[in-house]
A and B are shown apart, each in its own frame.
Chain A
Amino acid sequence: MFAKEMLKQSLPLLIFCGIGGIIAGRTLGGMIYLLNDIPGLIVVIPAIIALRGNISTTFGSRLGSAYHLGLIDSKNMWNDELKQNIIGSLILSFLISSIVGILAYITTILFFDLNPNPIKIIIIVIFAGILSSLILTALTIFIIYMVFKRGYDPDNITGPALATFGDIITMFCIFGSAVIIEVLL
């Protein structure tokens, strides 16, 4: 009965996340020629997906805790607690994206016989990081607002929802920024 309950509660969620993964993967599959044209781009993909997942799920879970502590609710959303959280996660995104870009550049030069354009790869990562950060922060606030309004516990919903949408949105952002930067530079 114990296993049955775990299966019943987790299986739909896992399938849902898996389908999110398929959409993200299909987007990545569509980038295959871009990955060939921009050496070093494939190196950043796992890092930038993980970075987004980590920053937005901790953002979501902090807002969940703030809700349980009574610091924030649907009538009192746009307060200083929320603003500090937004600024914090945007700055973290910028810093970590820069680190990812630089690390990817160094790795590609050191371990593969490739010569990526350092400015190109770093700008693609930072641009994708900030773009996805803005979209996901807005999405998190929207999800949290809806959850508050209906009186659900944010802890049960924001984590998986953000992980799934995060993968897809981040992949679109990398794709978009790679195309834009490739055309511009």
Chain B
Amino acid sequence: MIYNWKKIVRYGLPLLTLCVLIEIFAGSILQGNQNVIFKLPILLISFPVINSVGGNIGSILGARLASGLHVGNIRLDIKDKKMHENFITSRLLGLITYAFLAILIYYLASFSNISMDIGLMEFIFILLAVGLILICIVSVVSIITAFLSFRRGLDPDDFVAPIVTTISDTVGIILLFFIVGVVII
């Protein structure tokens, strides 16, 4: 038997506690912006979407880098051409996904009688701006985590996904309120 519940708890607890601490910070930003949320409830629908897509793109990039590093066709070099290709494709993926989901969210919200003080174009612009900045930040975090853990002889697969999703949640929420503030006011 290789699995033991005590080991699972002991290894899981520190990293999860750290993630939860950062996520509580993200939640506090939501609480602090409660007035904005009550004025624009469409933001409540948007933030799980922004976070899930951002975290997924970061995790996909991280997993690809990790495999590339393991196999040896990506080098530990900032100027590596393969890495740049991955970076650009991530942004392209984000652009298409966020634009499509923005339209979907907007029409879902208008069909379900959620009060809307925002135009479709404005909303698409907000989601794309948040999404593209988020993907740039998340990609950099993903690259740094993959490279650092690989250089220290740790398996990037164990670290990239939890770190990237946690940072993406927090940064996504901060960016959303920042961009909404800039566009609306």
Contacts and interface: CB of A to CB of B under 8 A. Distances in A.
Contacts of A55: 12, 16
A146 interface: no
Interface in A15-69: 15, 17-22, 24-26, 28-29, 32, 35-36, 40, 42-47, 49-51, 53-55, 57-58, 62, 66, 69
Contacts, number: 201
A22 B17 CA distance: 27
A163 interface: yes
B96 A11 contact: yes
Given A10-B93, A36-B38, A42 B48 contact: no
B5 A111 contact: no
A82 to B, nearest CB: 8
Chain B interface helix/strand/loop/mixed: helix
Nearest to A94: B9
A14 B50 CA distance: 11
A26 B5 contact: no
B36 interface: no
B116 to A, nearest CB: 12
B20 A160 contact: no
Contact of B28 (A80, A88, A107): A107
Contact of A14 (B13, B17, B88, B93): B93
Interface of A: 2-3, 6-7, 10-11, 13-15, 17-22, 24-26, 28-29, 32, 35-36, 40, 42-47, 49-51, 53-55, 57-58, 62, 66, 69, 71, 80-81, 84-85, 87-89, 91-92, 95-96, 99-100, 103-104, 107-108, 111-112, 160, 163-164, 167, 171
